[in-house]
Amino acid sequence: LFAGPVDFVKGVVAMDGLPPADRPEVCFAGRSNVGKSSLINALTGRKGLARASNTPGRTQEINYFALGEQAYLVDLPGYGFAKAPVAVVAKWQALLKNYLAGRATLRRAFALIDSRHGVKEVDHEIMKLLDRSAVPFQVVLTKTDKIGREALAKVIQQVEDELQKHPAAYPELVVTSSDKGEGIATLRAIIAGLD
Ligand code: GTP
Ligand code: MG
């Protein structure tokens, strides 16, 4: 699945702008700056594909990337803190919620958690939304190159405890570093196994 071409399709700002629901898709959700766009770049091996930046709130649309004609990877705007006006943020948050609750071809949501920060209240809220919408989700820990193995073990425990509360959650989490490549092959295999 990841061996073929990958293309940016479009940035979507409203539900009626979503591409036709004609193939499976997975999405990447998480707080602003958690590393969603960087993860898509690492998965596709295309550094500048999804725009990553140190400014939280970089991705302001639902960005669709096509893996050949077989599947979509969907980069979502971050939730939580973002350097953007309140009204703008409120608009993307509404779009994000409608998308997560209403996309028939969404096979799995990856819920990204920064391994330095663990699960925050906003993450818990998004996971509850995924439960309510019955969207199967899996946690991906990001930026593991930034912490030691002991701290990593602790955050894994915290996430596993949190996941007990969520019926839509997969129990296994994926530990990644987009910078160092950790877990990227594993995540590719998970996505390739979905369709
Ligand atoms: P928004 O679009 O603002 O919601 O952010 P995002 O979740 O798409 O995060 P993005 O990929 O833009 O990354 C945010 C910052 O974290 C950038 O400066 C990245 O270079 C950095 N970053 C992302 N992944 C990693 C990683 O695995 N390791 C390290 N060290 N830095 C990372
Ligand atoms: Mg982004």
Number of domains in the chain: 1
Kindly tell me if the per-residue pLDDT of 93 is higher than 80.
Answer: no
Query: Hey, which residues does 142 pair with through a beta bridge?
Result: 114
In a domain, 92, yes or no: yes
Ligand nearest to the CA of 35: 1
Mind listing the pLDDT tens digit for each residue in 133-171? Answer: 999 999 999 999 999 999 999 999 999 999 999 999 999
Indicate the helix (H) or strand (E) that contains 37: helix 36-44
Question: Which amino acid does the sequence have at 194?
Answer: L
In a domain, 60, yes or no: yes
Between residues 173 and 56, which one has the greater pLDDT?
A: 173
In a domain, 52, yes or no: yes
CA–CA distances in Å: residue 10 to residues 13, 32, 72, 83, 170: 10, 20, 11, 23, 29
Between residues 53 and 9, which one has the greater pLDDT?
A: 9
Mind listing the pLDDT tens digit for each residue in 125-141? Answer: 899 999 999 999 999 99
How high is the pLDDT of residue 60? 76
How high is the pLDDT of residue 79? 82
| Beta strands in the chain, from DSSP E residues, in sequence order | 6-12, 25-30, 62-67, 71-75, 106-114, 137-142, 174-175
Q: b/e string for 145-169 if b means 16 or more Cβ within 10 A?
A: eebeeeebeebbeebeebbeebebb
- If you search the block for the tokens 């996505």, which residue do you land on? 191
Q: Measuring CA to CA, which residue among 31, 54, 189, 190 is closest to residue 117?
A: 31
108 in contact with ligand 1, CB cutoff 6 A: no
Q: Which amino acid residue places its CA nearest to atom 21 of ligand 1?
A: 35
Q: What is the dihedral of CA 40, 115, 183, 65, to 10 degrees?
A: -10
34 in contact with ligand 1, CB cutoff 6 A: yes
| Domain that residue 90 falls in | 6-192
In a domain, 1, yes or no: no
In a domain, 30, yes or no: yes
In a domain, 152, yes or no: yes
CATH number of the domain within which 173 lies: 3.40.50.300
In a domain, 124, yes or no: yes
pTM, full prediction: 0.95
53: confidence class by pLDDT, cuts 50, 70, 90: confident
CA–CA distances in Å: residue 173 to residues 153, 157, 187: 12, 11, 10
In a domain, 45, yes or no: yes
Structure tokens belonging to residue 173: 């989490």
Question: How many angstroms is it from 53 CA to the middle of ligand 1?
Answer: 6
How high is the pLDDT of residue 81? 65
59 in contact with ligand 1, CB cutoff 6 A: yes
